[in-house]
Structure 1
Amino acid sequence: MSDFCSASAAPHYAPDLRLEPIHRDISFHFDLQRRSARGVVVITLVARSAGARRLELDGLDLREVEASDPRGRALSCRYDGKKLHIVWDEPFAGSERRELRIAYTVVDPLSGMCFSWPDEQYPNRSRHVVTDNETERARYWLPCIDHPNVRTTVDFHLRAEQQWTFLANGFHAGEESHEDGTKTVHWKLEQPSPSYLLCIAVGDLVCVEAGDFEGRPVAYFASAGHRPEDLLRAFGPTVDMLGWMTRRLACPFPYPKYYQLAAEGIGGAMENISLVTWDDMFVADERIHREWGWLIDLVNLHEMAHSYFGDLLVIRDFSHAWLKEGWATYMESAWLGDVYGEDDLLHQIHEEKWAYMDEADKDYARPIVTRNFDSAW
């Protein structure tokens, strides 16, 4: 363990949820060129025990933070740059529901919300904003209990210049144009989600519509400058993979769409519910795809498997990340076996075993489940 974490690493546990968030209504008005957004989140809370009146939310480097109770109940809010400490004057009754409204500004955050806009050094840079949260980076743009045991339904209201593409988790629930040349797009997620699986993207995006899978739309997006044919080459097997996955697990796909987005600012690939994000290096032309196509397919299958293992079934805390990652990795091997044969399955399992043992020999060895770590990542 000495090489895995520092000697001072404290044990991590799921937070107390005497006041549990059950819904988030998230509104953003983006100014992409200024790399900023004005946000409002209305959190619906339910008291799991009578007498609770304190709530602590994660929020890093947020600006102009204001908290209020929409029904006028008195409360105080203290923000120290890392946490919002909310205290109601009147305690909650058991099972009582209340709303908390937090208005704030995000300006070019260090992580979590990635803005891209051309400048003197990079005049061809794309124009977009996209979020990338795993494991504990939603707090850079969203006041929340940034932990997987807090799972809420979500409404997103995203406002920006009307020519942009607007994406988020869930299904498209409507949009409204404004006289100033902006529009607000409403996305709605009816399945509970932890903060690290939320995703927003707005900007100049290329789109390839790939039809549907059992009535659920499938589409591929990338930041401007990428070619539709490269997008289709990279993600073309997706619909067939969805068919294989649902048959193998004997379980219908649990979400209303399956979108994939490749953009600068994403590290690797991320299984956000119904909106998987990728580093745009995976948008492969013919030459690169000849070398990397096998890897892109495995990553595609891996992130899709997380729709079940990690998204539908959510870990209680990050000490059990092995569960979601282990199952998603195993599904890669199962897919190889069913599509290419047993030799490919066994070779994949051998490679994964070798990589694990090599890490244990050269870097560190630790229990599969440990609460002591410096970073959940």
Structure 2
Amino acid sequence: MKFGTQLLISFLSLLSFYGIAQKPVFELKDSLRGSLRLERTYDVKHYDLNLTIDPDHKFIKGSNAITLTSMADMEEIQLDLFENMKILKISKDKKELVYRRIYNAVFIANPLKSGESCTIIVEYEGNPTMAKNAPWDGGFVWSKDMDKMDWIGVACEGDGASLWWPNKDHLADEPESMDMYFTVPNPYVAISNGKLVGKKKMGKKKTTYHWNVSYPINNYNVTVYIGQYETFNETYTTKTGEALALNFSVLKPNVTKAKAHFGQVPKVLEAFEHYLGPYPFFRDGYGLVEAPYLGMEHQSAIAYGNKFQRGYLGSRIPDEFDFDYIILHETAHEYWGNSVSCKDHADMWLHEGFATYMESLFVEYFYGREAALRYLNSQKKGISNDQPLIGPLGVNFTNNPHDIYPKGSWVLQTLRYAINNDSLWFDIFKGFYDKYKMGFATSKDFIEFVNLKTGKDYGPFLRQYLRYKNLPKLIYSVSFRDTYTQIKYKWDNLEQQFTLPVEFSLDGKIIVLEPGNDWKYIEFNRKFNKIAPKDDKILIEILKAE
């Protein structure tokens, strides 16, 4: 079981966040969802989700059997289910249990001793939240395909899986495995995570599809796609000769197009295997499923809605590259986000920043280091520095800035530059993945791992980038006198002990200077026509003082 511990949010941690960003407003419902209270001190072993889906009425009905083990003595357990969903019954060992609801939290009277296990069944129904703009806005997407037939999907990162099924809706707990049964009207097919175990006709009008996930899975990664799907299969042979199943499900009219376009998947898997090792969910296979929204990293069943185009709907990547951004980015999440997971939404940069950086490693693997730097600099244009990358813990903080993608990527690139040893850098990158794969990691874990591997303290460096919205500001000035040149330079208002070498170009000749929090000087017995610091490999703000 993948389970991580987390302390309740503290007053001091909130104060530290407020001091460097606009004060967010949190309510009881936020801490009910975001904190690990005593009622949540249990380890989920397995979910058994069984749903009937009615597209005509946008309605779902079914049950979830939750097998868990208590990690403390408790009188109640907390599950989560959005309050618009009606609970029909909660039972254990065929005996109905008493429960109460507070917002989206469900408290069930179920005394347990530490180490005791049980299975609780929640029967429920309702019209789940409809997404206004999936995947950024969570919920069901009830759409029509090109033949005006139903085409349905669901994405719920941030909003939470409890918008459509009852569970312990916290990032720090994942089941060891999961079974999903989806009953849908004919002629539709239900695609989900993992492997298709079987399908069963339910009379003349419906079919039940049984899917199984054999690995831990984030709740928000659990999904279902319903439509007139056709599935075709390929294989990818790893560097050790093992065959990985590639499962592609698309709307029937798009099969020919998909077979050609998805041919790039093995290249993505090859590059990522080079840097991090084999695809992490090998038994369940790798999957792309055409979705009625742009994309989402649903484990082993990635949502694909990029319309078989290069880049991001045909744009957003430099013209020199020809790959599908959604395939690349969402596949990176199988490593960062799905295998290595954060414990709290406040640390979501560990998912998005690392996955976005993986895009540049794909480019580096196939196009070279200089091309990767060009790709990284195209990412840099999207950085806004409007709030810190790390948010407050314990309150289900989901107002993460877009910067967790490009700025998160550039934190890693700048760290690589600072370490200045690619062999060591890739040892750190893969070593961190290997240590925390199929588990949980925090920003603190990453800082400690970097320090351990380098033998240096990169805490001030990483705290500056992660906990403050403003970039390190380099202030410099240049003065000339006859045949004499002086460069004056310093960092402005940074964490003490922050260090980062900076390249300066002097008429095309590169020198490396190491600014501090106090002014430093360097002098030359000659004049230069053009002097400027370079930021093509690092993420800083540059201010030339007059």
Q: Which of 237, 240, 245 pairs up with 1:217? A: 245
**Over residues 142-168 of structure 1, what are the superposed CA-to-partner deviations in whole Å (9 max), with x where a residue is unaligned?**
112222112012100111124222211
- Superposition map of 1:216-365 within 5 A: 216-223=244-251, 226-255=253-282, 256-264=284-292, 266=293, 268-278=294-304, 280-284=305-309, 294=321, 297-356=324-383, 359-360=384-385, 364-365=386-387
3-state SS in 1 of match to 2:382: helix
| C-alpha distance 115-125 of structure 1, shift in aligned 2 (>3 A) | farther
How far has the Cα of 1:48 moved from its partner?
0.3
CA distance in 2, matches of 1:5, 1:35: 38
**Over residues 79-113 of structure 1, what are the superposed CA-to-partner deviations in whole Å (9 max), with x where a residue is unaligned?**
3552222112xx21221111111111132523444
Q: Name which of structure 1's ranges 300-309 and 9-18 shifts more when overlaid on structure 2.
A: 9-18
3-state SS in 2 of match to 1:101: strand
Q: 8 Å contact 1:258–1:274 — kept in the other structure?
A: yes
3-state SS in 1 of match to 2:92: coil
* Structure with larger Rg: 2
How far has the Cα of 1:330 moved from its partner?
1.4
Q: Which of 69, 75, 81 pairs up with 1:46? A: 69
3-state SS in 2 of match to 1:272: coil
| C-alpha distance 208-73 of structure 1, shift in aligned 2 (>3 A) | closer
Q: Provide the residue aligned with 1:188 in structure 2.
A: 212
| C-alpha distance 290-46 of structure 1, shift in aligned 2 (>3 A) | closer
Q: Which of 44, 55, 60 pairs up with 1:37? A: 60
CA RMSD in angstroms comes to: 3.1
**Over residues 245-303 of structure 1, what are the superposed CA-to-partner deviations in whole Å (9 max), with x where a residue is unaligned?**
22321345423211112222x3x42111101113x343339xx7599795752332221
Q: 8 Å contact 1:9–1:373 — kept in the other structure?
A: no
TM-score (norm 2): 0.60
CA distance in 1, matches of 2:151, 2:51: 14
Q: 8 Å contact 2:291–2:303 — kept in the other structure?
A: yes
Q: Does 1:107 align with 2:127?
A: yes
How far has the Cα of 1:33 moved from its partner?
1.9
Q: Does 1:165 align with 2:175?
A: no
Q: 8 Å contact 2:59–2:125 — kept in the other structure?
A: yes
CA distance in 2, matches of 1:78, 1:341: 58
Give the letter aligned to residue 357 of structure 2.
Y
How far has the Cα of 1:44 moved from its partner?
0.8
> Greater RCO between the two (CA within 8 Å, min separation 6)?
1
Give the letter aligned to residue 152 of structure 2.
V
| C-alpha distance 212-345 of structure 1, shift in aligned 2 (>3 A) | closer
3-state SS in 1 of match to 2:53: strand
Q: Which runs of 5+ in 1 are unaligned?
A: none
| C-alpha distance 173-273 of structure 1, shift in aligned 2 (>3 A) | same
Q: Provide the residue aligned with 1:92 in structure 2.
A: 112
CA distance in 1, matches of 2:121, 2:36: 21
CA distance in 1, matches of 2:85, 2:260: 42
Q: Name which of structure 1's ranges 35-44 and 129-138 shifts more when overlaid on structure 2.
A: 129-138
TM-score (norm 1): 0.84
Give the letter aligned to residue 297 of structure 2.
E
| C-alpha distance 44-244 of structure 1, shift in aligned 2 (>3 A) | same
How far has the Cα of 1:141 moved from its partner?
0.5
3-state SS in 1 of match to 2:215: strand
Q: Provide the residue aligned with 2:49 in structure 1.
A: 26
| C-alpha distance 290-87 of structure 1, shift in aligned 2 (>3 A) | closer
3-state SS in 1 of match to 2:356: helix
Q: 8 Å contact 1:28–1:38 — kept in the other structure?
A: yes
How far has the Cα of 1:310 moved from its partner?
1.0
Q: 8 Å contact 1:22–1:45 — kept in the other structure?
A: yes
State percent identity of aligned pairs. Answer: 18
Q: Provide the residue aligned with 1:56 in structure 2.
A: 78
CA distance in 2, matches of 1:66, 1:20: 24
Give the letter aligned to residue 260 of structure 1.
L
Q: 8 Å contact 2:84–2:128 — kept in the other structure?
A: no
Q: Provide the residue aligned with 2:88 in structure 1.
A: 66
Q: Which of 138, 160, 176 pairs up with 2:161? A: 138
Give the letter aligned to residue 194 of structure 1.
N
Q: Provide the residue aligned with 1:15 in structure 2.
A: 36
CA distance in 1, matches of 2:162, 2:350: 24
Q: 8 Å contact 2:154–2:225 — kept in the other structure?
A: yes
CA distance in 2, matches of 1:128, 1:109: 16
Q: 8 Å contact 1:206–1:228 — kept in the other structure?
A: yes
How far has the Cα of 1:223 moved from its partner?
4.2
Q: 8 Å contact 2:295–2:326 — kept in the other structure?
A: yes
Q: 8 Å contact 1:59–1:84 — kept in the other structure?
A: yes
| C-alpha distance 140-350 of structure 1, shift in aligned 2 (>3 A) | same
Q: Which of 90, 106, 116 pairs up with 2:142? A: 116
Give the letter aligned to residue 177 of structure 1.
K
Q: Name which of structure 1's ranges 239-248 and 334-343 shifts more when overlaid on structure 2.
A: 239-248
| C-alpha distance 182-365 of structure 1, shift in aligned 2 (>3 A) | closer
| C-alpha distance 34-2 of structure 1, shift in aligned 2 (>3 A) | farther
Q: 8 Å contact 2:249–2:290 — kept in the other structure?
A: yes
